[in-house]
Amino acid sequence: MKRLFDILASGCGLIVLSPLFLVLAIWIKLDSKGPVFYRQVRVGRGNKDFRIFKFRSMRIGADKGSLVTIGGRDPRVTRSGYYIRKYKFDELPQLINVFVGDMSLVGPRPEVRHYVDYWSPEQMRVLDVRPGITDPASIKFRNENELMENAEDPEDFYINVIMQEKIKLYLEYVDHSSFWYDIKLIFQTFKVIVTERCEGDDVLSGGADGMGQEPLLASLKGEDVAAGRRLREVKRVLLDSAAGCYGCVVPKGAWHTVEVLAPSVIYEAKDGKYGEDGSEPW
């Protein structure tokens, strides 16, 4: 049933979205030199490589350096690419990969071989299923580029922090996946995209969660005070006890103790106050 649903849904999606594809293709070609699509090699089911379809959002040769994108204004990103990435339009051509069988609508996001080489034998179980366009990790780490913007070594932070958390979620999906769970994740993905785009960058004022609370005000414990200060510039946030709380708002009365950017940096937040004495932490 899953494969049949993938074929029907991706086929209908390609037909319905074809006018948007045309507009985006013209925009990309007019904005910068290079092809419309970016075809990067990713690792799929059974540890086999395939080429993913994405709308090109970076300048030619941008992948010769770091494989991670840092922040919302990575200098390698084109003018059109900034908006294409912001609204997740760059991922839409992966419907082609879904239609031909390289991917599924829902499944662990496909990684490049460079990062898969770091995986343990247990983590390689992720490759037992088709990779997907969305999954629980995609929802939770939808703003990972901005999280890495404040890391001293983004590559190391991705490999040892973000990727490890994502793999845990990948394995949970592999162990508990079902057709109806996939449908639920598809709706959750649409909800997140629409909600965030409608609310803009108002997260620090409590808009993303509709809680209307004061911004996260925290006391810093540890050695890396500079990293703590940089965190205050983060505009898009994750509030999740498993992944951490990066400059976000918290429900009244809730305590969250999380590691951020470096093992020594720990934030504690309580009742929307700066600290227990209400003083400025830095």
Query: Over the stretch 191-222, which tens digit does the pLDDT of each residue have?
Result: 988 887 666 544 333 333 332 222 322 332 33
Average pLDDT score over residue span 49-58: 95
- Give the model confidence (pLDDT) of 11-34 as tens digits: 999 999 999 999 999 999 999 999
Taking the C-alpha atoms of residue 100 and residue 157, their distance in angstroms, rounded to an integer, is: 34
Taking Cα atoms as reference points, which of 54, 92, 55, 123 lies closest to residue 189? Answer: 92
Please name the helix (run of DSSP H) or strand (run of DSSP E) that holds residue 80, with its range, or none: helix 79-86
**Residues 120 and 31: beta-carbon distance below 8 Å:** no
Residue 138's SS3 state is helix
**Residues 94 and 128: beta-carbon distance below 8 Å:** no
Residue 179's SS3 state is helix
Mean pLDDT across the chain, nearest whole number? 75
**Residue 220: burial class (beta carbons within 10 Å; 0-12, 13-18, 19+):** buried
Higher pLDDT, 226 or 104: 104
**Residues 135 and 171: beta-carbon distance below 8 Å:** no
Extract the tokens encoding 253: 């009365």
- The per-residue pLDDT for 200 is 54
Helix count (H) and strand count (E) of the chain? 11, 9
Q: Note the pTM of the prediction, 2 decimals.
A: 0.70
Taking the C-alpha atoms of residue 107 and residue 126, their distance in angstroms, rounded to an integer, is: 9
Backbone angles phi, psi at 268, to 5 degrees: -125, 130
Q: Work out the pLDDT band at 142, boundaries 50, 70, 90.
A: confident
